[in-house]
Structure 1
Amino acid sequence: MGSTSVNRRDVMKRAAAAGLLAVPAVGALSSCASGGGSDNKAEKGEKSKKNPLGVKEDAGLTVYIFNGGYEDKYAQFVTDMYAAKYPKAKPEQKATESIATQLQPKIIRGRPTADVINNSGADDMNIGKLVKNEQVADLTEVLDAPSWDDPGVKVRDTLVAGMADMGAFGTKGCYQLNITMTAYGNWYSKRLLNDELGMEYPKTWDEMLAVCRKAKAKGIHGWSYPGGHPRYMLFSMYAMFAQVGGREVIEAMDYLEPGAWRHDAVKSVLEAFEELIAKKYVLTGFDGPQAHTEMQTAWTKGKCVFVPDGSWVENEAKDTTPDGFGMTVGATPSLSKSDKLPFGTLYAPPGEPFLIPAKAKNVQGGLEWLRMMYSKKAARNFFKEVSAIPAVKGAIDGMDLPPGVDSAQKAITAAGDNIVIPFFKEWYEELFEDDWDKAMGKFMLGDMTVKQVMDAMDKASQRVAKDPDISKVKKV
């Protein structure tokens, strides 16, 4: 793919027109405005009004779903839709926690066994490398296809603004599509915070410290995080970096600018969290392979007030969440009066990505599966199954929302244009992952100073920037 120049523009415009979300102006990639499908012609049928993507009706279809917080029942609904329309295809669905381990070697060899892949979880594939090596299909064809619910409306026009742009990766095509909006932040129990502690959600960092003091006096930790995945702490920090220093802080990180991780805003935010550590407000541990669920269980049992998490947590922790818990996401507290962005700034990107291997046996069938996934009935089922906000505009209008989803939707709406999305996580994910975990893990245990964390992250950023074998998204 080589170095790619893109304009940093507003890819997340308002989606509130559909009654769902107000999504912000943020930096992003080129839009998914042109291109189309894969060159794989092995399994194609005749296009028609009833079959706009030219699916071969008897071609098999294999779908792989990440078996994580959302499990795979929501996707089975779509696979069943496919089977109903194309019974001769006999589609099959498989669930795994090891997406990259199981699927990437076959994709690299040009013999993928999957036609649709939910590329998610800790063992996800590096989508940037797949795009560079032309190993994923262009999804523009499905975006420009008639939507499942209304043939007069394209699929792209049924989606919350910005969903398509997330998959462009500095190209003219689109190689990854998401199915939900994810609200990251400081998750808490309303019952514990409001009723048991008698406190309101902190709008400033001083108020956050006050909550932690009162919690500690009652034998409760203010915070916790998964020791096995300490990068979760960044779920609460990304928006705060931008809130304190402005969007340019995240933009500098996106474009691998030297010194981006040494910005004063990063320093101020890390120092704020360092105070939580120094005062022993943080419940540590949870170092095993299921660290995140172990942390969540401690939280739902009332052992801490706040955890850094995403909106999948409501579904993932449902078995341990007591009635009346009041699961809620809180946005970034203000650090000082000089903050560049207001209280309520939120990290809320599109989530749960899907892709189709370029040499999949049934690319057209994969595109059709995605078209079905973006139907309103599939979107509503997704919400019912996993309590998450779907990507289809207006899909959950008028429905009763559980506490976590309700709070996530309200937080996103309240944030308005003040939503922050760090794209470097998508562009250079695999290369940064180890650095995030190592640096944040040592920091949260008090074994690494603020300066050392900033130096480590900046060093990692520059290692990527100087690697000639890594394609870069270039700022113009």
Structure 2
Amino acid sequence: MTSSPYLNRRTLIRRSAAAGLFTIPAVGALSSCASGGDDGDSVERQEATDSNPFGVSPDAELEVVIFDGGFGDQYALDAEEIYQGSYGSVDHTKTTEIRTRLQPRMVQGDPPDVINNSGADAMDIAALLRNDQVHDLTELLDAPSLDDPSVTVRDTLMPGVVEMGQFGSDPVYQFNYAYTVYGQWYSRTALERLEVEYPRTWDEMITVCEKAKQEGIAGWTYPGVYPYYFNFTLYPFIGKIGGADVLRAIDNLEPNAWRHDAVRAAFEAYYELVARGYILQGSPGLTHEESQDEWNQGRALFIPNGSWVENESAQNTPEDFEMAVGPPTSLDSSDAMPFETIWASGSEPFFVPADAANVPGGLEFLRIMLGAESTRNFTELVSSLTCVRGAADGLTLPPGLTSASETLAAAGDNLLIPRMPDWYRQLNNEEIGGAIAAMMAGEIEPDEAITRCQRAADATAQDDSITKFQHI
């Protein structure tokens, strides 16, 4: 690595934190402690050129922190190698403890240059925005793409990716690198063995689950430790029943949004799975990996998940499993949106901190990640689509990703993108997730679950300390 005052400062801060010389703030402290915008050690921009549109200094170190989850970090290491071919060295860290390790540094004004803000311990992006701690990525989106200077980065992206980085206004503060298809994941082999088709209506779902039960197989499992996974199918199910406006009302924290008939119908349908004994015993206590293992071992037919699951569970997936994903099963023919409707959107968020020492380098690294070499490499390594259009064209895809691509193509314009998970992380993961978890564990019935969801949403709406967002 290059030796510089900037590097020495970072090294000193890290060592001091490790030695306990800095006090790590509590989880909520970020919302009340702005960094103050201390950029005294920031790397100066060089003159911009066609090949270096952000004016990256050729010798400045870049620090990248990657969430070590279902996608691992090799794809980032490979992109960093490309970066180092033209610019300075890269200090790379992988961790599952994003908030725990980085929130103190955000408060101290010494963040990394690029953060993959993902996982159960991700930082609250809304709190970061409230304190002006995230760099506006508009210049990245308007820059020439890596492979075709005549096309901007913005114009290479999949539908909804730019909007997912907006928080009620025009600036874009994060981009989601993966393009995830959420839905009911299943094994084609398992359904074939039961001699059943994928259920398109809820009556068909009950029939399939009953036949599985008679064979000693659960209809569903889920990670009860992280109950918001159920939202990956429940939110689009609600949208299909009542229309996209129902989800927009929920996102906008509108009064009585959770009391809509579509919400009630969806909750009652899911509760039927509990009442009929179609949920795998012990699911409320399972982690995401444990529930996936149970599913891989054929103990349950369906699991709510996203398309990262193929890579995340690869080691325990039987060769003949034939992983696939389908749209959330429709309620019936009265649904407002067609069966093919799915939740598909960008996931795996990245951002550049406003106080990053090497903002230009962070932007250039993200531009490299969005190039053809990096996006194709990501798909081949981790079995996931990226946010770049056509990046997987011509590649031989594994079964799950092939299914996800087909499901996405079949959906066409019938895409739903709930914003609750990133606009109101705590509300989505804890309060809403907790109410759904209690219902799916059989502890409460749908009426009580709906009441809890609405009460939590109202409390968030009335809390002036929480930044509110609206659909543009």
The TM-score with structure 2 as length reference comes to 0.89
Deviates most, 42-51 or 342-351: 42-51
2:185 aligned partner, one-letter code: W
Change (3 A) 1:475 1:225: closer
- Could you tell me how far 1:131 is from its partner in structure 2? 1.3
1:234 aligns with 231
Shift of 1:71: 0.8
Name the SS for the 1:151 alignment partner: coil
Equivalent in the alignment of 1:218: 215
Ranked by relative contact order (alpha carbons within 8 Å, sequence separation 6 or more), the top structure is 1
Identical-pair percentage: 47
**2:327 matched to 1:327?**
no
**1:342 counterpart = 2:341:** no
CA distance in 2, matches of 1:431, 1:125: 14
1:455-474: per-residue Cα shift (whole Å, max 9, x none)? 11111111111111222124
CA distance in structure 1 between the aligned counterparts of 2:441 and 2:465, rounded to whole angstroms: 34
Distance verdict in 2 for CA 1:287–1:239, change over 3 Å: closer
Deviation at 1:351, TM superposition (A): 0.8
Give the distance between the partners of 1:422 and 1:342, measured in 2 at CA: 17
What letter matches 1:371 in structure 2? R
- 1:216 aligned counterpart, secondary structure: helix
Where does structure 2 lack aligned partners over 5 or more consecutive residues?
1-37
CA-CA distance at 1:39 after TM superposition: 8.0
How far is 1:221 from its partner? 0.6
Q: Is the 8 A contact 1:108 1:135 kept in 2?
A: no
User: Paired residue for 1:51?
Assistant: 52
Unpaired runs of 5+ in structure 1?
1-37
Kept in 2, the 8 Å contact 1:43–1:363? The answer is no
CA RMSD, 1 decimal: 1.6
1:122 aligns with 120
Report matched runs for 1:360-379 at 5 Å.
360-379=356-375
TM-score, normalization: structure 1?
0.88
Shift of 1:287: 5.7
CA distance in 2, matches of 1:359, 1:340: 46
Partner deviation per Cα, 1:241-266 (whole Å, 9 max, x = no partner): 01111112101101101111111111
In 1, distance between residues paired with 2:67 and 2:127? Answer: 20
Give how far 1:397 is off.
Answer: 0.8
- Say whether the 8 Å CA contact 1:277–1:445 is kept in structure 2: yes
TM-superposed deviation, 1:284: 3.4
Structure 1: distance between partners of 2:94 and 2:83? 17
Question: What's the offset of the Cα at 1:164?
Answer: 1.6
Q: Does the aligned pair in 1 maintain the 2:439–2:446 contact within 8 Å?
A: yes
Residues 163, 178 of structure 1: 8 Å contact kept: yes
CA deviation digits over 1:204-229, x for unaligned, max 9?
11111111111111111111111211
Q: Does 1:157 align with 2:155?
A: yes
One-letter amino acid of the counterpart of residue 235, structure 1: F
- Higher mean alpha-carbon deviation, 416-425 vs 307-316, is at 416-425
**Which runs of structure 1 show a deviation greater than 4 angstroms over 4 or more consecutive aligned residues?**
38-41
Letter of the 1:78 partner, please give it: A
Alpha-carbon shift at residue 239 of structure 1 (Å): 0.9
Following TM superposition, by how much is the alpha carbon of 1:182 offset from its aligned partner in structure 2, in angstroms?
0.6
Farther off after superposition, 235-244 or 157-166: 157-166
Q: Which amino acid aligns with 2:80?
A: T
The residue that corresponds to 1:135 in the other structure is 133
Closer, same or farther in 2 for the Cα pair 1:475/1:97, shift >3 Å?
closer
1:448 & 1:308 partners in 2: Cα distance? 21
Q: CA deviation at 1:412?
A: 1.1
Q: Does 1:66 align with 2:67?
A: yes
Q: 1:452 to 1:403 in 2, by over 3 A?
A: same
**1:74-120 per-position Cα deviation (integer Å, ceiling 9, x unaligned):** 1111111111122xx211211000111111121122221x1100010
Asked whether the 8 Å contact 2:264–2:446 carries over to 1, the reply is yes
In structure 1, the residue matched to 2:180 is: 182
Q: 2:246 matched to 1:270?
A: no
